[in-house]
Structure 1
Amino acid sequence: MNRRDFITATGAIGAAVLSSKTFAQDKPQQAEADVHSFGRVITLAQERAKSPDKPEQYRLGGIFSDLTYDQYRGIRFRREADPIHAANANSQFGLDLLPPGFFYKDRVRIHLVKGGKAEEIVFDPGAFDFDPNLFDAAKLEFPDDVRQGLGWSGFRLRYAINSPDYMDEFAVFQGASYFRAIARDTLYGLSARGLALGTGGPGGEEFPRFTQFWIYQPEANDRSIRLEALLESPSLTGAYAMEIIPGAETVFLIKASLFPRKDIEHYGIAPLTSMYFFSPSRRAAINDYRNAVHDNDGLAMYTGGEARLWRPLCNPRDLQ
């Protein structure tokens, strides 16, 4: 596929339905200099596509530089540091910012958009509580030279989807272009990605990354939340706009404009991804004491013809 053919794609992701369509290129809309808009994100992506990818170079410092799995899980965002509630205590949504370290080395810039103006949320290690059983309090100091190498690695969103008196985590954006969500009375399983490049190809897969987010401050009565993201990789850039509606079914309405840096042969729009090794019904020749090892054991689909389909997963020897 060449650059002219591969400019704009739009996908819609729901709790049980996935579809994607390709449209003509969106033209970046002109915006006032001090007003943020999706058109500005499109323009930014389009301009960056004109030059080679230049990932930000920095080094994690302090206690974030060598975290174990348990230590990373022992870092908790303080609810009183929630920037959405700081702006409006009556908002139905919450925002937790996620620390760097462990697998999450890429720094992500996150902005909060209020009244049309975007303000970057500056990384602050004071927004976290550190489990005293896992961290030496004497080492929880962050001089300026250490802070310069630190940044958020992503975020999670909260909403009272199960109980009116508790704001549940319902969506997470962290790592490359991965994001995932749950609906009422469900558990995490599938993850989605902004884009898949070279999946299963002989040259190896390329993982585009969300490098910036713009989250719109929800009003007190809003039942959905909007955000935008900048996607970057050696092969392309992209601008994404999302509206997320949590509830009995958590629905993502997604629009993306993509700008290739070079010709791209294999790509996936609105990809879903999971992990599967074996399940109780498909464990022939697997010597393992566990009953099952997977994030998902099947794919449930609800079609436009109101048919409900179930496709069990398997782990074939050869790539299909």
Structure 2
Amino acid sequence: MKHIYMIGIGLIGGSFAIDIKEHNPSAKIYGIDINEAYLDESLALGVIDEKATLEDLEKADLVIVSIPVDVTVKLLPTILDKIGDNTLVVDAGSTKEAICKEVEHHPKRRNFLAAHPIAGTENSGPKAAISGLYKGKTNIICEVEKTTFKLQEKALELFRAIGMRIRYMDPVSHDKHIAYVSHLSHISAFMLGKTVINKEKNERDIFDMAGSGFESTVRLAKSSPAMWTPIFKQNKENLIETLEEYINNLQQFKELMQQDNFSEIFNEMENTNYIKQILNGIK
């Protein structure tokens, strides 16, 4: 794949561009973004080789879409309208059901691969793009059977070349599971940050007393609201169910504290330590 178009040149798209270029130096990376400053910055950093527009997509071998999920839903049919018959379009959205549903009857549905690379940092923009972001990370592929075999094979070859593990899942299951293991973490971080800001009015106290535990826990609260608000909106039903369970666990913990039942608090934490075994098994 020689002509690769990145729609959205932030952390996700930019990191894809860097890794693709490293593994395929002959590839030419084109950038499309509504933020002209991002395009200029990407050019200066060498993340992309040229600016482009949607009208240029007919020349593409591969199009990677890494923009907010609400914009992806609106723009994806237009992208598919403009590509050639042998072009592959891959999205990198954190929700999958709404995106897959939007193009399920599109004449070029076979040219689309729904993907979710589970990788990232709390940073955004072209400067956040880094080499090796995807190494060892899982890429969830949805509805692979709806993508033309020769095109999906090219994508999977690319993903494996940059070090990704592949997992297959249907869009509904993806959105349900990701609500627990990703989206809830971001909500928790945002609300923890809010709680500390509301209670600790002295910013110097926060800076001086915040240890590494707090910093790592609240790190996700630095993520882009422009990206995460549409994710929460698209996965609203799953997230409400997830939040109800989470709030219930917090309430139970509070009640144990009120009852001075610290032996049960110990048991709760000890049982939860099993998460270490699960996560160690993933690595």
Task: Tell me if both proteins adopt one fold, taking TM over 0.5 as the criterion.
Answer: no
More strand, by proportion: 1
Task: Looking at secondary structure, tell me which structure has more helix per residue.
Answer: 2
TM range (shorter): under 0.3
Q: Normalising to structure 2: TM-score of the pair?
A: 0.27
Larger relative contact order (CA 8 Å, sep ≥ 6) = 1
TM-score (normalised: structure 1): 0.25
